[in-house]
Protein backbone atom coordinates (compact mmCIF):
# COMPACT_ATOMS: atom_id res chain seq x y z
CA UNK A 1 0.00 0.00 0.00
CA UNK A 2 1.04 3.57 -0.53
CA UNK A 3 0.87 6.25 2.17
CA UNK A 4 -2.44 7.48 0.78
CA UNK A 5 -3.88 3.97 0.61
CA UNK A 6 -2.91 3.34 4.24
CA UNK A 7 -4.59 6.61 5.25
CA UNK A 8 -7.67 5.54 3.31
CA UNK A 9 -7.70 2.13 5.00
CA UNK A 10 -7.19 3.04 8.65
CA UNK A 11 -8.61 5.82 10.71
CA UNK A 12 -7.15 6.94 13.99
CA UNK A 13 -9.36 4.72 16.18
CA UNK A 14 -8.34 1.59 14.22
CA UNK A 15 -4.75 2.39 15.06
CA UNK A 16 -5.24 3.11 18.76
CA UNK A 17 -7.32 -0.10 19.04
CA UNK A 18 -4.21 -2.02 17.92
CA UNK A 19 -2.53 -0.83 21.10
CA UNK A 20 -5.50 -1.71 23.28
CA UNK A 21 -6.98 1.79 23.63
CA UNK A 22 -10.70 2.28 23.63
CA UNK A 23 -11.70 5.93 23.16
CA UNK A 24 -14.33 7.07 25.69
CA UNK A 25 -17.68 8.53 24.64
CA UNK A 26 -16.09 11.91 24.00
CA UNK A 27 -13.37 10.32 21.89
CA UNK A 28 -10.51 10.62 24.39
CA UNK A 29 -7.95 8.07 25.55
CA UNK A 30 -5.36 8.23 28.32
CA UNK A 31 -2.27 9.70 26.70
CA UNK A 32 0.47 7.07 26.42
CA UNK A 33 3.06 9.76 25.72
CA UNK A 34 3.05 11.52 29.07
CA UNK A 35 2.86 9.87 32.51
CA UNK A 36 -0.16 9.77 34.78
CA UNK A 37 -2.86 10.91 32.38
CA UNK A 38 -5.93 9.97 34.41
CA UNK A 39 -8.04 12.61 32.70
CA UNK A 40 -7.79 10.97 29.25
CA UNK A 41 -6.41 14.06 27.53
CA UNK A 42 -5.62 12.61 24.13
CA UNK A 43 -8.39 13.27 21.66
CA UNK A 44 -8.85 10.82 18.79
CA UNK A 45 -10.10 12.47 15.63
CA UNK A 46 -10.95 10.72 12.38
CA UNK A 47 -7.52 11.27 10.81
CA UNK A 48 -5.33 12.55 13.62
CA UNK A 49 -4.87 12.86 17.36
CA UNK A 50 -3.96 15.55 19.81
CA UNK A 51 -3.13 15.48 23.50
CA UNK A 52 -4.49 18.52 25.30
CA UNK A 53 -2.13 17.93 28.23
CA UNK A 54 1.31 17.37 26.65
CA UNK A 55 0.59 18.78 23.19
CA UNK A 56 1.65 15.78 21.15
CA UNK A 57 -0.33 15.26 17.97
CA UNK A 58 -0.20 13.91 14.45
CA UNK A 59 -1.57 11.34 12.08
CA UNK A 60 -1.62 7.53 12.26
CA UNK A 61 2.03 7.28 11.22
CA UNK A 62 3.16 9.61 14.01
CA UNK A 63 1.12 7.62 16.53
CA UNK A 64 2.80 4.35 15.49
CA UNK A 65 6.23 6.00 15.36
CA UNK A 66 5.80 7.33 18.88
CA UNK A 67 4.32 4.12 20.29
CA UNK A 68 7.01 1.87 18.87
CA UNK A 69 9.82 4.43 18.90
CA UNK A 70 10.53 3.83 15.22
CA UNK A 71 11.09 5.95 12.13
CA UNK A 72 8.46 6.98 9.63
CA UNK A 73 9.76 4.40 7.17
CA UNK A 74 9.40 1.64 9.75
CA UNK A 75 5.92 2.83 10.77
CA UNK A 76 4.96 2.85 7.11
CA UNK A 77 6.03 -0.79 6.81
CA UNK A 78 4.31 -1.75 10.08
CA UNK A 79 1.08 -0.39 8.61
CA UNK A 80 1.46 -2.48 5.47
CA UNK A 81 3.25 0.02 3.30
CA UNK A 82 5.30 -1.23 0.42
CA UNK A 83 7.71 0.55 -1.85
CA UNK A 84 6.67 -0.41 -5.33
CA UNK A 85 9.32 -1.17 -7.90
CA UNK A 86 8.83 0.65 -11.19
CA UNK A 87 6.49 -1.45 -13.30
CA UNK A 88 6.90 -2.34 -16.93
CA UNK A 89 4.26 0.25 -17.82
CA UNK A 90 6.19 3.08 -16.20
CA UNK A 91 9.43 1.98 -17.87
CA UNK A 92 7.55 2.01 -21.17
CA UNK A 93 6.47 5.60 -20.51
CA UNK A 94 10.08 6.59 -19.90
CA UNK A 95 11.10 4.86 -23.10
CA UNK A 96 8.31 6.59 -25.01
CA UNK A 97 9.25 10.02 -23.71
CA UNK A 98 12.88 9.40 -24.70
CA UNK A 99 11.72 8.40 -28.14
CA UNK A 100 9.49 11.47 -28.32
CA UNK A 101 12.38 13.76 -27.39
CA UNK A 102 14.50 12.09 -30.06
CA UNK A 103 11.74 12.59 -32.65
CA UNK A 104 11.34 16.20 -31.64
CA UNK A 105 15.09 16.77 -31.91
CA UNK A 106 15.12 15.30 -35.42
CA UNK A 107 12.11 17.40 -36.36
CA UNK A 108 13.87 20.55 -35.15
CA UNK A 109 16.97 19.62 -37.08
CA UNK A 110 14.91 19.17 -40.24
CA UNK A 111 13.22 22.52 -39.66
CA UNK A 112 16.58 24.26 -39.28
CA UNK A 113 17.70 22.64 -42.55
CA UNK A 114 14.57 23.87 -44.31
CA UNK A 115 15.12 27.36 -42.97
CA UNK A 116 18.71 27.45 -44.19
CA UNK A 117 17.62 26.38 -47.68
CA UNK A 118 14.80 28.87 -47.63
CA UNK A 119 17.08 31.77 -46.68
CA UNK A 120 19.41 30.81 -49.50
CA UNK A 121 16.54 30.78 -52.03
CA UNK A 122 15.32 34.16 -50.77
CA UNK A 123 18.71 35.76 -51.33
CA UNK A 124 19.03 34.12 -54.78
CA UNK A 125 15.64 35.45 -55.92
CA UNK A 126 16.43 38.89 -54.51
CA UNK A 127 19.72 38.89 -56.42
CA UNK A 128 17.87 37.93 -59.63
CA UNK A 129 15.44 40.78 -59.15
CA UNK A 130 18.27 43.27 -58.63
CA UNK A 131 20.04 42.15 -61.76
CA UNK A 132 17.05 42.00 -64.11
CA UNK A 133 14.82 44.61 -65.72
CA UNK A 134 11.84 45.35 -63.41
CA UNK A 135 8.67 43.66 -64.68
CA UNK A 136 10.56 41.54 -67.19
CA UNK A 137 9.65 37.83 -67.31
CA UNK A 138 12.62 36.77 -65.19
CA UNK A 139 11.96 39.58 -62.72
CA UNK A 140 8.29 38.55 -62.39
CA UNK A 141 9.18 34.88 -61.96
CA UNK A 142 11.74 35.83 -59.31
CA UNK A 143 9.24 38.10 -57.61
CA UNK A 144 6.64 35.30 -57.43
CA UNK A 145 9.20 32.77 -56.22
CA UNK A 146 10.42 35.24 -53.60
CA UNK A 147 6.88 35.85 -52.32
CA UNK A 148 6.38 32.10 -52.00
CA UNK A 149 9.66 31.63 -50.10
CA UNK A 150 8.82 34.52 -47.76
CA UNK A 151 5.50 32.82 -47.08
CA UNK A 152 7.30 29.53 -46.34
CA UNK A 153 9.73 31.35 -44.05
CA UNK A 154 6.85 32.85 -42.06
CA UNK A 155 5.33 29.36 -41.74
CA UNK A 156 8.62 27.87 -40.56
CA UNK A 157 9.09 30.68 -38.04
CA UNK A 158 5.63 30.03 -36.69
CA UNK A 159 6.30 26.30 -36.30
CA UNK A 160 9.57 27.10 -34.53
CA UNK A 161 7.84 29.55 -32.19
CA UNK A 162 5.48 26.79 -31.09
CA UNK A 163 8.41 24.75 -29.69
Q: Which of 31, 44, 64, 79 binds Zn ion (CB under 5 A)?
A: 31
Taking the least distance from each CB to Zn ion, the nearer of 31 and 75 is: 31
51 binds Zn ion (CB under 5 A): yes
122 binds Zn ion (CB under 5 A): no
**120 and 140 Cβ atoms separated by less than 8 Å:** no
40 binds Zn ion (CB under 5 A): no
Stretch that binds Zn ion, among 50-58, 98-106, 110-118, 142-150 (CB under 5 A): 50-58
Taking the least distance from each CB to Zn ion, the nearer of 11 and 30 is: 30
Q: Which phi and psi angles does 70 have, rounded to 5°?
A: -130, 170
Phi-psi region of 69 (alpha: psi -120 to 50; beta: other; left: phi over 0): left
Sheet of strand 57-59: strand arrangement: 28-29, 42-44, 48-51, 57-59
Per CB under 5 A, residues contacting Zn ion are: 31, 33-34, 51, 53-54
Amino acid sequence: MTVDEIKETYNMSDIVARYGFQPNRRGFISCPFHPGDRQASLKIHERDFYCHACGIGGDIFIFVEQMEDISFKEAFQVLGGTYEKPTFASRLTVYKSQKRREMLRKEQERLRGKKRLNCMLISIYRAYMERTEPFSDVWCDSYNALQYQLYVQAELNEIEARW
